[in-house]
Protein backbone atom coordinates (compact mmCIF):
# COMPACT_ATOMS: atom_id res chain seq x y z
CA UNK A 1 0.00 0.00 0.00
CA UNK A 2 1.20 3.50 -0.87
CA UNK A 3 0.92 5.25 2.48
CA UNK A 4 1.12 8.78 1.00
CA UNK A 5 -1.74 8.06 -1.38
CA UNK A 6 -3.80 6.59 1.46
CA UNK A 7 -3.23 9.67 3.64
CA UNK A 8 -4.13 12.07 0.82
CA UNK A 9 -7.29 10.10 0.09
CA UNK A 10 -8.60 10.19 3.66
CA UNK A 11 -7.01 13.24 5.30
CA UNK A 12 -10.08 15.35 4.54
CA UNK A 13 -12.29 12.90 6.45
CA UNK A 14 -9.91 12.92 9.44
CA UNK A 15 -9.77 16.71 9.40
CA UNK A 16 -13.57 16.89 9.33
CA UNK A 17 -13.78 14.44 12.25
CA UNK A 18 -11.32 16.55 14.22
CA UNK A 19 -13.36 19.65 13.44
CA UNK A 20 -16.56 18.02 14.70
CA UNK A 21 -14.80 16.85 17.87
CA UNK A 22 -13.53 20.36 18.46
CA UNK A 23 -17.00 21.95 18.34
CA UNK A 24 -17.91 23.57 21.64
CA UNK A 25 -21.58 23.89 20.84
CA UNK A 26 -23.94 20.96 20.77
CA UNK A 27 -23.93 19.11 17.45
CA UNK A 28 -27.04 19.04 15.33
CA UNK A 29 -28.65 15.73 14.44
CA UNK A 30 -27.01 15.67 11.03
CA UNK A 31 -23.61 16.53 12.48
CA UNK A 32 -23.95 13.81 15.11
CA UNK A 33 -24.75 11.24 12.39
CA UNK A 34 -21.77 12.49 10.41
CA UNK A 35 -19.50 12.17 13.44
CA UNK A 36 -20.59 8.54 13.97
CA UNK A 37 -19.99 7.70 10.31
CA UNK A 38 -16.56 9.36 10.32
CA UNK A 39 -15.64 7.60 13.57
CA UNK A 40 -16.49 4.23 12.03
CA UNK A 41 -14.45 4.99 8.93
CA UNK A 42 -11.49 6.20 11.01
CA UNK A 43 -11.60 3.00 13.07
CA UNK A 44 -11.52 0.99 9.85
CA UNK A 45 -8.63 3.09 8.54
CA UNK A 46 -6.71 2.51 11.78
CA UNK A 47 -7.16 -1.24 11.50
CA UNK A 48 -6.09 -1.18 7.87
CA UNK A 49 -2.96 0.88 8.56
CA UNK A 50 -1.95 -1.34 11.47
CA UNK A 51 -2.16 -4.49 9.36
CA UNK A 52 -0.82 -3.18 6.05
CA UNK A 53 1.58 -0.31 6.72
CA UNK A 54 2.13 0.19 10.45
CA UNK A 55 3.65 3.67 10.32
CA UNK A 56 4.10 4.68 14.01
CA UNK A 57 3.28 8.35 13.47
CA UNK A 58 0.11 7.68 11.51
CA UNK A 59 -0.99 4.89 13.86
CA UNK A 60 -0.53 7.22 16.83
CA UNK A 61 -2.52 10.01 15.18
CA UNK A 62 -5.40 7.73 14.20
CA UNK A 63 -5.41 5.97 17.57
CA UNK A 64 -5.83 9.29 19.36
CA UNK A 65 -8.48 10.43 16.89
CA UNK A 66 -10.48 7.19 17.18
CA UNK A 67 -10.26 7.29 20.99
CA UNK A 68 -11.58 10.86 21.11
CA UNK A 69 -14.35 10.01 18.68
CA UNK A 70 -15.32 6.91 20.58
CA UNK A 71 -15.56 8.93 23.79
CA UNK A 72 -17.77 11.46 22.03
CA UNK A 73 -20.00 8.78 20.49
CA UNK A 74 -20.40 6.55 23.54
CA UNK A 75 -20.25 9.34 26.11
CA UNK A 76 -17.89 9.71 29.02
CA UNK A 77 -18.62 7.29 31.80
CA UNK A 78 -17.67 7.69 35.43
CA UNK A 79 -17.54 4.95 37.95
CA UNK A 80 -19.68 5.53 41.01
CA UNK A 81 -21.26 3.87 43.99
CA UNK A 82 -23.68 2.07 41.69
CA UNK A 83 -20.74 0.41 39.91
CA UNK A 84 -19.19 -0.59 43.23
CA UNK A 85 -22.48 -2.06 44.40
CA UNK A 86 -22.92 -3.99 41.17
CA UNK A 87 -19.36 -5.31 41.42
CA UNK A 88 -19.80 -6.55 44.99
CA UNK A 89 -23.27 -7.98 44.44
CA UNK A 90 -22.75 -9.60 41.03
CA UNK A 91 -19.38 -9.18 39.31
CA UNK A 92 -17.04 -10.34 42.06
CA UNK A 93 -19.12 -13.28 43.36
CA UNK A 94 -19.76 -14.42 39.77
CA UNK A 95 -16.01 -14.39 39.08
CA UNK A 96 -15.43 -16.40 42.24
CA UNK A 97 -18.07 -18.93 41.25
CA UNK A 98 -16.82 -19.26 37.66
CA UNK A 99 -13.26 -19.90 38.82
CA UNK A 100 -14.18 -22.39 41.55
CA UNK A 101 -12.93 -25.33 39.48
CA UNK A 102 -9.46 -23.79 39.79
CA UNK A 103 -9.28 -22.55 43.36
CA UNK A 104 -11.14 -25.38 45.10
CA UNK A 105 -8.70 -28.07 43.84
CA UNK A 106 -5.85 -25.66 44.64
CA UNK A 107 -7.14 -25.36 48.20
CA UNK A 108 -7.61 -29.12 48.66
CA UNK A 109 -4.24 -30.08 47.20
CA UNK A 110 -2.38 -27.37 49.13
CA UNK A 111 -4.04 -28.32 52.42
CA UNK A 112 -3.29 -32.01 51.84
CA UNK A 113 0.34 -31.20 51.00
CA UNK A 114 0.68 -29.05 54.12
CA UNK A 115 -0.70 -31.93 56.21
CA UNK A 116 1.80 -34.36 54.66
CA UNK A 117 4.69 -31.96 55.25
CA UNK A 118 3.53 -31.45 58.85
CA UNK A 119 3.33 -35.21 59.46
CA UNK A 120 6.78 -35.74 57.95
CA UNK A 121 8.36 -33.06 60.12
CA UNK A 122 6.56 -34.19 63.27
CA UNK A 123 7.68 -37.81 62.90
CA UNK A 124 11.27 -37.20 61.80
CA UNK A 125 13.51 -35.51 64.40
CA UNK A 126 16.32 -35.23 61.86
CA UNK A 127 14.10 -33.08 59.67
CA UNK A 128 13.30 -30.84 62.63
CA UNK A 129 17.03 -30.49 63.31
CA UNK A 130 17.59 -29.34 59.73
CA UNK A 131 15.05 -26.53 60.17
CA UNK A 132 16.63 -24.85 63.20
CA UNK A 133 18.85 -25.47 66.22
CA UNK A 134 17.22 -27.23 69.22
CA UNK A 135 17.13 -24.07 71.35
CA UNK A 136 15.51 -22.14 68.49
CA UNK A 137 12.90 -24.87 68.06
CA UNK A 138 12.11 -24.75 71.78
CA UNK A 139 11.71 -20.97 71.60
CA UNK A 140 9.30 -21.36 68.71
CA UNK A 141 7.11 -24.08 70.20
CA UNK A 142 7.17 -23.61 74.00
CA UNK A 143 4.16 -22.12 75.83
CA UNK A 144 4.45 -18.38 75.36
CA UNK A 145 6.93 -18.92 72.55
CA UNK A 146 7.23 -17.15 69.23
CA UNK A 147 4.32 -18.99 67.60
CA UNK A 148 1.99 -17.66 70.30
CA UNK A 149 3.43 -14.19 70.89
CA UNK A 150 3.59 -13.44 67.16
CA UNK A 151 -0.08 -12.49 67.13
CA UNK A 152 0.16 -10.15 70.12
CA UNK A 153 3.61 -8.65 69.52
CA UNK A 154 2.18 -5.42 68.06
CA UNK A 155 -0.84 -3.22 68.59
CA UNK A 156 -3.91 -4.87 67.09
CA UNK A 157 -4.67 -2.12 64.58
CA UNK A 158 -1.13 -1.83 63.22
CA UNK A 159 -0.73 -5.62 63.18
CA UNK A 160 -3.98 -6.03 61.23
CA UNK A 161 -2.83 -3.41 58.71
CA UNK A 162 0.56 -5.12 58.31
CA UNK A 163 -1.03 -8.54 57.84
CA UNK A 164 -3.50 -7.15 55.31
CA UNK A 165 -0.71 -5.52 53.31
CA UNK A 166 1.45 -8.65 53.27
CA UNK A 167 -1.40 -10.96 52.28
CA UNK A 168 -2.64 -8.55 49.62
CA UNK A 169 0.85 -8.54 48.12
CA UNK A 170 0.88 -12.34 48.01
CA UNK A 171 -2.52 -12.37 46.30
CA UNK A 172 -1.43 -9.67 43.85
CA UNK A 173 1.69 -11.64 42.90
CA UNK A 174 -0.45 -14.70 42.17
CA UNK A 175 -2.83 -12.68 40.00
CA UNK A 176 -0.28 -10.52 38.19
CA UNK A 177 2.24 -13.25 37.42
CA UNK A 178 -0.38 -15.78 36.37
CA UNK A 179 0.17 -14.72 32.77
CA UNK A 180 3.69 -16.21 32.96
CA UNK A 181 2.15 -19.67 32.41
CA UNK A 182 1.34 -19.83 36.15
CA UNK A 183 4.88 -20.87 37.11
CA UNK A 184 5.51 -18.03 39.63
CA UNK A 185 2.09 -18.78 41.13
CA UNK A 186 3.10 -22.37 41.84
CA UNK A 187 6.24 -21.16 43.62
CA UNK A 188 4.34 -18.69 45.82
CA UNK A 189 1.74 -21.36 46.56
CA UNK A 190 4.42 -23.88 47.52
CA UNK A 191 6.14 -21.41 49.85
CA UNK A 192 2.83 -20.69 51.56
CA UNK A 193 2.06 -24.40 51.90
CA UNK A 194 5.56 -25.16 53.19
CA UNK A 195 5.33 -22.52 55.92
CA UNK A 196 1.98 -23.90 57.04
CA UNK A 197 3.34 -27.47 57.04
CA UNK A 198 6.38 -26.47 59.10
CA UNK A 199 4.17 -24.85 61.73
CA UNK A 200 1.91 -27.90 61.87
CA UNK A 201 4.86 -30.28 62.15
CA UNK A 202 6.86 -28.42 64.77
CA UNK A 203 3.91 -27.74 67.08
CA UNK A 204 2.64 -31.29 66.63
CA UNK A 205 6.07 -32.71 67.55
CA UNK A 206 5.77 -31.20 71.05
CA UNK A 207 2.11 -32.13 71.50
CA UNK A 208 0.79 -28.59 70.98
CA UNK A 209 -1.06 -29.01 67.69
CA UNK A 210 -4.32 -27.93 69.36
CA UNK A 211 -2.70 -24.64 70.38
CA UNK A 212 -1.41 -24.05 66.86
CA UNK A 213 -4.80 -24.75 65.29
CA UNK A 214 -6.45 -22.49 67.85
CA UNK A 215 -4.18 -19.69 66.67
CA UNK A 216 -4.30 -20.30 62.94
CA UNK A 217 -7.93 -21.27 62.31
CA UNK A 218 -9.74 -18.07 63.41
CA UNK A 219 -8.20 -15.97 60.65
CA UNK A 220 -6.46 -18.66 58.58
CA UNK A 221 -9.60 -20.21 57.11
CA UNK A 222 -10.61 -17.02 55.31
CA UNK A 223 -7.05 -15.83 54.71
CA UNK A 224 -5.89 -19.07 53.10
CA UNK A 225 -9.07 -19.29 51.06
CA UNK A 226 -8.34 -15.83 49.62
CA UNK A 227 -4.79 -16.90 48.78
CA UNK A 228 -6.07 -20.08 47.14
CA UNK A 229 -8.58 -18.06 45.11
CA UNK A 230 -5.80 -15.74 43.94
CA UNK A 231 -3.57 -18.69 43.07
CA UNK A 232 -6.36 -20.50 41.23
CA UNK A 233 -7.21 -17.35 39.28
CA UNK A 234 -3.54 -16.87 38.41
CA UNK A 235 -3.25 -20.47 37.22
CA UNK A 236 -6.38 -20.04 35.14
CA UNK A 237 -4.90 -16.93 33.54
CA UNK A 238 -1.71 -18.85 32.82
CA UNK A 239 -3.67 -21.68 31.23
CA UNK A 240 -5.47 -19.17 29.03
CA UNK A 241 -2.10 -18.33 27.48
CA UNK A 242 -1.69 -22.00 26.57
CA UNK A 243 -5.29 -22.79 25.63
CA UNK A 244 -7.54 -19.77 25.02
CA UNK A 245 -10.38 -22.02 23.86
CA UNK A 246 -12.70 -20.82 21.09
CA UNK A 247 -11.77 -17.17 21.68
CA UNK A 248 -8.82 -15.46 19.99
CA UNK A 249 -5.88 -15.51 22.40
CA UNK A 250 -5.78 -11.71 22.67
CA UNK A 251 -9.49 -11.53 23.45
CA UNK A 252 -9.29 -14.37 25.95
CA UNK A 253 -6.35 -12.81 27.78
CA UNK A 254 -8.04 -9.41 27.84
CA UNK A 255 -11.24 -10.85 29.32
CA UNK A 256 -9.51 -13.05 31.88
CA UNK A 257 -7.04 -10.29 32.74
CA UNK A 258 -9.82 -7.80 33.44
CA UNK A 259 -11.59 -10.42 35.53
CA UNK A 260 -8.36 -11.07 37.47
CA UNK A 261 -7.99 -7.34 38.11
CA UNK A 262 -11.49 -7.22 39.53
CA UNK A 263 -10.67 -10.31 41.58
CA UNK A 264 -7.68 -8.49 43.09
CA UNK A 265 -9.93 -5.66 44.26
CA UNK A 266 -12.47 -8.05 45.75
CA UNK A 267 -9.85 -10.19 47.46
CA UNK A 268 -8.35 -7.09 49.04
CA UNK A 269 -11.66 -6.66 50.85
CA UNK A 270 -11.72 -10.33 51.89
CA UNK A 271 -8.14 -10.12 53.15
CA UNK A 272 -9.01 -6.95 55.06
CA UNK A 273 -11.66 -8.93 56.96
CA UNK A 274 -9.20 -11.76 57.70
CA UNK A 275 -6.61 -9.17 58.78
CA UNK A 276 -9.07 -7.66 61.24
CA UNK A 277 -9.77 -11.12 62.65
CA UNK A 278 -6.05 -11.85 62.91
CA UNK A 279 -5.33 -8.54 64.58
CA UNK A 280 -8.24 -8.42 67.02
CA UNK A 281 -9.70 -11.94 67.46
CA UNK A 282 -6.75 -14.35 67.22
CA UNK A 283 -4.73 -12.74 70.07
CA UNK A 284 -7.80 -11.93 72.16
CA UNK A 285 -8.69 -13.51 75.46
CA UNK A 286 -11.72 -15.28 74.01
CA UNK A 287 -11.94 -19.04 74.55
CA UNK A 288 -10.42 -21.09 71.75
CA UNK A 289 -13.83 -22.43 70.71
CA UNK A 290 -15.17 -18.89 70.36
CA UNK A 291 -12.24 -17.70 68.26
CA UNK A 292 -12.47 -20.72 65.98
CA UNK A 293 -16.23 -20.26 65.70
CA UNK A 294 -15.68 -16.70 64.44
CA UNK A 295 -13.26 -18.02 61.82
CA UNK A 296 -15.68 -20.72 60.71
CA UNK A 297 -18.53 -18.19 60.51
CA UNK A 298 -16.41 -15.90 58.30
CA UNK A 299 -15.48 -18.81 56.04
CA UNK A 300 -19.09 -19.99 55.76
CA UNK A 301 -20.19 -16.45 54.95
CA UNK A 302 -17.63 -16.31 52.14
CA UNK A 303 -18.70 -19.67 50.69
CA UNK A 304 -22.34 -18.62 50.97
CA UNK A 305 -21.45 -15.46 49.07
CA UNK A 306 -19.87 -17.57 46.31
CA UNK A 307 -22.59 -20.20 46.01
CA UNK A 308 -25.51 -17.84 46.64
CA UNK A 309 -25.19 -14.49 44.85
CA UNK A 310 -22.22 -15.79 42.86
CA UNK A 311 -24.03 -18.73 41.34
CA UNK A 312 -27.13 -16.67 40.55
CA UNK A 313 -25.07 -13.91 38.93
CA UNK A 314 -23.06 -16.41 36.88
CA UNK A 315 -26.26 -18.00 35.61
CA UNK A 316 -27.42 -14.55 34.48
CA UNK A 317 -24.30 -14.29 32.38
CA UNK A 318 -22.08 -12.25 34.70
CA UNK A 319 -18.39 -13.05 34.29
CA UNK A 320 -16.62 -10.53 36.49
CA UNK A 321 -15.51 -8.57 33.42
CA UNK A 322 -16.14 -4.84 33.20
CA UNK A 323 -19.34 -3.62 31.61
CA UNK A 324 -19.64 -3.56 27.82
CA UNK A 325 -18.97 0.17 27.25
CA UNK A 326 -15.68 -0.07 29.18
CA UNK A 327 -14.29 -3.06 27.30
CA UNK A 328 -13.49 -1.41 24.02
CA UNK A 329 -14.44 -2.77 20.67
CA UNK A 330 -13.09 -6.20 19.83
CA UNK A 331 -12.71 -5.12 16.25
CA UNK A 332 -13.35 -1.93 14.27
CA UNK A 333 -16.87 -1.29 13.11
CA UNK A 334 -17.17 -0.90 9.37
CA UNK A 335 -19.44 1.81 8.06
pLDDT at 183 over 60: yes
15 vs 22: CA distance, rounded Å = 10
Q: What pLDDT does residue 1 have?
A: 58
Please, is 263 exposed, middle or buried when counting C-beta atoms within 10 Å of its C-beta (0-12, 13-18, 19+)? buried
Into how many domains does the chain fold? 2
Q: How far apart are CA 94 and CA 297, in angstroms?
A: 21
Task: Note whether 51 and 151 are same-domain residues.
Answer: no
Q: Are 77 and 40 in contact (CB under 8 A)?
A: no
3-state SS, one letter per residue, for 251-262: HHHHHHHHHHHH
Which residue range(s) make up the domain with 50?
A: 3-76
Return the pLDDT at 30: 83
The answer to whether 121 touches 205, Cβ cutoff 8 Å, is yes
List the one residue out of 36, 26, 32, 49 whose CA is nearest residue 334. Answer: 36
Q: What is the pLDDT of residues 97-140, one digit of tens each?
A: 999 999 999 999 999 999 999 999 999 999 999 998 989 999 88
Residues 304 and 234 in one domain: yes
Indicate the pLDDT class of residue 329, thresholds 50, 70 and 90: very low
Residues 51 and 93 in one domain: no
Does residue 90 form part of some domain? yes
Question: Can you tell me the mean pLDDT for 48-75?
Answer: 80
What would the mean pLDDT of 311-331 be, rounded to a whole number? 67
Give mean pLDDT, residues 272-283: 89
**Does one domain contain both 226 and 296?**
yes
148 and 50 within one domain: no
- Give me the percent of the chain exceeding a pLDDT of 70: 88
Answer yes or no: do 47 and 129 share one domain. Answer: no
Last residue of a domain, one of 45, 76, 107: 76
User: Looking at the predicted structure, is the pLDDT value of residue 326 above 50?
Assistant: no
Considering the domain architecture, whether residues 103 and 18 belong to the same structural domain is answered as no
Pair 221, 285 in one domain: yes
Say whether both 13 and 43 belong to one domain: yes
Domain boundary among the residues 76, 99, 129 is at 76
Same domain, 161 and 293: yes
The least confident of 16-30, 101-115, 304-318 is: 16-30
Residues 208 and 157 in one domain: yes
Q: Decide which of 76, 106, 135 is a domain's last residue.
A: 76
217-261 confidence digits (pLDDT tens): 999 999 999 999 999 888 888 888 888 788 787 777 777 777 777
Asked if 169 and 269 sit in the same domain, the reply is: yes
Amino acid sequence: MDLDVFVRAHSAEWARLEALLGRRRKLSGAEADELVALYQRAATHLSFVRSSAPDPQLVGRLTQLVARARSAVTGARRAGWRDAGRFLSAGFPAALYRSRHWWLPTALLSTALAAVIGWWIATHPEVQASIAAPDQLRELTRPGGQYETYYSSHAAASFAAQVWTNNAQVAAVCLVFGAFLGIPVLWVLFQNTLNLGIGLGLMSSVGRLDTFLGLILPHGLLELTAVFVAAGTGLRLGWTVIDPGPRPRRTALAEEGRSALGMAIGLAIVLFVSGVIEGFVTPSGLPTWARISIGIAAELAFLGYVYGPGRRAARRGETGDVEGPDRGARQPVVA
